[in-house]
Structures are given as structure tokens and as C-alpha cells.
Amino acid sequence: MARIDWSVTAEDIIKRVKEIYGANITEDQIVKALGYEYRISWKKAVEVARFIKGFTIKQAEDYMNKVIAMKAPVPIRRFTKKQAHHTTPWEGWPVAKWPVKVAKAYLEVLKNLENNASYRGLSVDNIVIVHAAVHKGRKIRNYMPRAFGRSTPWFQDTVTIELAGAELPSENVPKKLKLRQKPY
């Protein structure tokens, strides 16, 4: 297993929390989790990481469970070429997907983040995901044999998921999801 260095330091997280939420935290209020080499789509993992940043752990787990049950989609913002538009529960962004396999991988890392927070004695309800990153892992090389002694490469990419959360004061914790809901 390849060793991944964290792409964010504690000082960066403290600075982000101060800029976004206006709260002063210490290094003891930061918790991190890492999931190595999942066999999932890197592009979909990037979109989910961008989406859950700013959620609390419980909100992110609930939403990932809804994605697995195909009840709620994830907005696709960057990788939108030849993507169908869907009816979405938010305004302004019609491209969405239901990445079930990616959501299951994120649930594992979110559980790890929650367990790390409870082990350190932090309040799990007040932890907000401040940093979510996805790194490409190693390729699993396969070859499909073809006729006349030829072969076709058939490689599988792996993805490493990195999450970092910070325990915020209860008045700074977001109470609801950051989606602008459509008026029905």
C-alpha cells in the first residue's frame, strides 16, 4: 500500500475554519480520516467530495444513505460532457447522478471519521467536514486476451479519499443542508 501524505495541514484547516465560520479552534479539535485505494470512479468521487464539504458528519451520512437508496442525487459540476439533465431537488444545476458505489466508499470513510472523533473525545454532532480531497491511486493492470495472439489493456484505477473535520461551537454548526431547495 502506497503511503499518502496529507494534502492539508492543521494550520490550513485552522485558517479555513476562521475564514469560513469565524471560529477559533485548536489542533485538538481537528480530526482526519483516510480511505485507501477504493475501486471507484475518480470523477464521481471528486464530485461527491465537492458536494459534502461543509456538511456535518451526520448530514453527510444521511445524504450518502439517500444516494445509495436512489432517493437523492449528487450534483455534477465539472465532468458534465454528454451528461443527461435530471429533475433535481435544488435550483440552478440540472446535471446530477446517483453514484452508489462511491457513496458506499464515502460512508466507510465517514464512519472512520466519526470513530476517530469519538475516540479523541470530540462532540460528533458538532464536527463539520472542512476538507474533502480525492487522490488517484495506483492502477491495477489487466489484459484481455483477444484472437490471433493479441491482447487489449484493461486497467482499473483506484482512488484514495481524504476527509478532515473540525469541531465547531454549536452556534456555528450548519443546521440544515446547504442546498437551495426548489419551492414546490
45 or 86, greater pLDDT:
45
| CB-based contact 40:105 (threshold 8 Å) | yes
User: What is the reported pLDDT for 184?
Assistant: 45
pLDDT beyond 90 at 83: no
pLDDT at 181: 55
Domain 24-167 indexed as CATH 3.90.470.10: yes
pTM of structure: 0.88
Q: What are the grid coordinates assigned to 28, written together?
A: 485538538
What's the average model confidence in pLDDT over 77-81?
A: 85
State residue 50's pLDDT score: 93
Mean pLDDT of all residues belonging to the chain: 89
**pLDDT-derived band at 177, boundaries 50, 70, 90:** low
Under the banding of pLDDT at 50, 70 and 90, the label for residue 26 is very high
pLDDT value at residue 182: 53
Cβ-contact 168, 14 below 8 angstroms: no
pLDDT tens digit sequence for 116-148: 999 999 999 999 999 999 999 999 999 999 999
The structural domains of the chain, with segments of one domain joined by +, span 24-167
> What is the structure's pLDDT at 58?
93
